[in-house]
Amino acid sequence: MSRSDHRSTRAGELADRLHPAGLLYSTYEARLLDQLDRSRLPEHVAVLADGNRRWARLNAPGQPLVTGYRAGAAKLGHFCAWCDEVGVPVVTLWVLSTDNLQRAETGELDELLRVIEDLVVTLSDNPSWRVQVVGDLNLLPAEMACVLRDACQHSIDHRGMHINVAIAYGGRHELRDAVRELLAEEAGKGTSLTQLSQTLEIDQIAEHLYTRGQPDPDLIIRTSGEQRLSGFLMWQSAHSEFYFCEALWPDFRKVDFLRALRSFSQRERRYGR
Q: Is 52 a catalytic residue?
A: no
Residue 50 annotated to the active site: yes
Residue 163's nearest CA partner among 263, 262, 95 is: 95
The whole-number pLDDT of residue 267 equals 85
Gap between the Cα atoms of 112 and 251, Å rounded: 19
pLDDT digits (tens, 9 = 90+) for 145-191: 999 999 999 999 999 999 999 999 999 999 999 999 999 999 999 99
Q: pLDDT digit string (tens) for 53-100?
A: 999 999 988 888 899 999 999 999 999 999 999 999 999 999 999 988
- Alpha carbons 174 and 95: distance in angstroms, whole number: 15
pLDDT band, residue 103 (cuts 50/70/90): low
* Residue in 5, 59, 84, 100 annotated catalytic: 100
Q: What is the pLDDT of residue 36?
A: 84
Q: Is residue 193 over pLDDT 60?
A: yes
Per annotation, catalytic residue among 50, 118, 136, 218: 50
> What backbone phi and psi angles, to 5 degrees, belong to 189?
-85, -5
Q: What is the pLDDT of residue 135?
A: 96
- pLDDT for 104 equals 59
d(CA 254, CA 268): 24
3-50 residue pLDDT tens: 545 455 455 555 555 556 677 778 878 887 778 888 889 999 999 999
User: Looking at residue 20, what is its pLDDT?
Assistant: 62
pLDDT surpasses 90 at 233: yes
Model's pTM, two decimal places? 0.87
Bridge partners for 194 per DSSP: none
Q: Output the 3-class SS for the chain.
A: CCHHHHHHHHHHHHHHHHCHHHHHHHHHHHHHHHHCCHHHCCCEEEEECCCHHHHHHHHCCCCCCHHHHHHHHHHHHHHHHHHHHHCCCEEEEEEEEHHHHHHCCHHHHHHHHHHHHHHHHHHHCCCCCEEEEECCHHHCCHHHHHHHHHHHHHCCCCCCCEEEEEEEECHHHHHHHHHHHHHHHHHHCCCCHHHHHHHCCHHHHHCCCCCCCCCCCCEEEECCCCCCCCCCCCCHHHHCEEEECCCCHHHCCHHHHHHHHHHHHCCCCCCCC
Rounded to whole angstroms, the Cα distance separating 29 from 97 reads: 32
CA distance 117 to 105: 18
